[in-house]
């Protein structure tokens, strides 16, 4: 089926159903977007950003890539961040990983997938950096801990970009968060990685790492008191 007509049919039904529920939906949506949030997440088809946080189209600006990686040479990601921060004036950036991430599992298992191995090398560096900590966790939990560490490190990368640094220097209201989504129950988990300004940067980073270390030691993340 060259023209994917079934998807056009689904689109037609969706548009009609949406209009029936709210006749002004598309006219309002066509106006200038003004989201307060930028979501940097994984490309996994099971992690639909808007639906997870129950926000309407226009309320969440989104960038997704395999394993929710933020690299300072990735002009695609940086362009999204710059537009979100400098033009849309978002107030929050959320880096969102998810348990069971296939990309991070490939790194965890030392699997070889081809070209994408070069992209996942960024996650491999994180695994090597925290191998001693990961080795302390039960084997069945190590993938989850690596996923959490990856989120924290990507949050740190976001905060170190000139985009966020300049926003903070100008006094712009901007907070960066690290979350992990559970495919099993649909719930988000706060990694205690919350960065509001440059002065908090190192303290917040160390607290987030300690949050994961506590999980390794068997202390449930929900029992850790957030700031």
Q: Say if domain 35-223 classifies as CATH 3.40.30.10.
A: no
Cβ–Cβ under 8 Å, residues 151 and 190: no
Which listed residue (42, 145, 159, 177) is catalytic? Answer: 42
pTM given for the model: 0.92
Exposed, middle or buried by CB within 10 Å (0-12, 13-18, 19+), for 197?
A: middle
Which listed residue (98, 145, 177, 215) is catalytic? Answer: 98
What is the 3-state composition of the chain as percent helix, strand, coil, each rounded to the nearest 5? Answer: 50, 15, 35
Tell me the HSE value of 100 on the side-chain side, using a 13 A CA sphere: 10
Which listed residue (63, 77, 101, 215) is catalytic? Answer: 101
Domain ranges of the chain: 1-31, 35-223
User: Is 46 in the active site?
Assistant: yes
Tokens of 49: 């950003």
User: Is 101 in the active site?
Assistant: yes
Per-residue pLDDT of the chain (227 residues; tens, 9 = 90+): 578 999 999 999 999 999 999 998 898 888 868 899 999 999 999 999 999 999 998 999 999 999 999 999 999 999 999 999 999 999 999 999 999 999 999 999 999 999 999 999 999 999 999 999 999 999 999 999 999 999 999 999 999 999 999 999 999 999 999 999 999 999 999 999 999 999 888 999 999 999 899 989 886 654 333 33
Which listed residue (6, 46, 54, 109) is catalytic? Answer: 46
User: Is 98 in the active site?
Assistant: yes
């Amino acid at each position: 089926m060259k023209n994917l007509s079934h998807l056009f049919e689904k689109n037609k039904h969706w548009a009609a159903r949406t209009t029936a529920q709210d006749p002004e939906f598309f006219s309002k949506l066509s106006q200038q977007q003004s989201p307060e949030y930028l979501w940097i997440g994984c490309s996994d088809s099971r992690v639909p950003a808007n639906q997870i946080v129950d926000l309407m189209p226009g309320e969440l600006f989104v960038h997704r890539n395999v394993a929710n990686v933020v690299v300072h040479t990735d002009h695609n990601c940086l362009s999204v961040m710059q537009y979100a921060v400098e033009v849309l004036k978002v107030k929050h950036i959320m880096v969102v990983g998810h348990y069971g991430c296939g990309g991070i599992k490939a790194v965890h298992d030392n699997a070889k997938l081809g070209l994408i191995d070069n992209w996942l090398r960024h996650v491999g560096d994180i695994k090597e950096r925290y191998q001693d900590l990961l080795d302390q966790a039960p084997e069945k939990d190590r993938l989850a801990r690596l996923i959490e560490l990856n989120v924290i490190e990507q949050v740190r990368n976001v905060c170190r970009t000139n985009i966020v640094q300049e926003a903070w220097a100008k006094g712009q209201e901007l907070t960066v968060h690290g979350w992990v989504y559970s495919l099993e129950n649909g719930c988000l988990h706060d990694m205690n990685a919350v960065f509001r300004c440059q002065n908090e940067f190192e303290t917040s980073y160390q607290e987030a790492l300690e949050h994961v270390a506590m999980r390794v030691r068997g202390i449930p993340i929900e029992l850790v008191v957030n700031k």
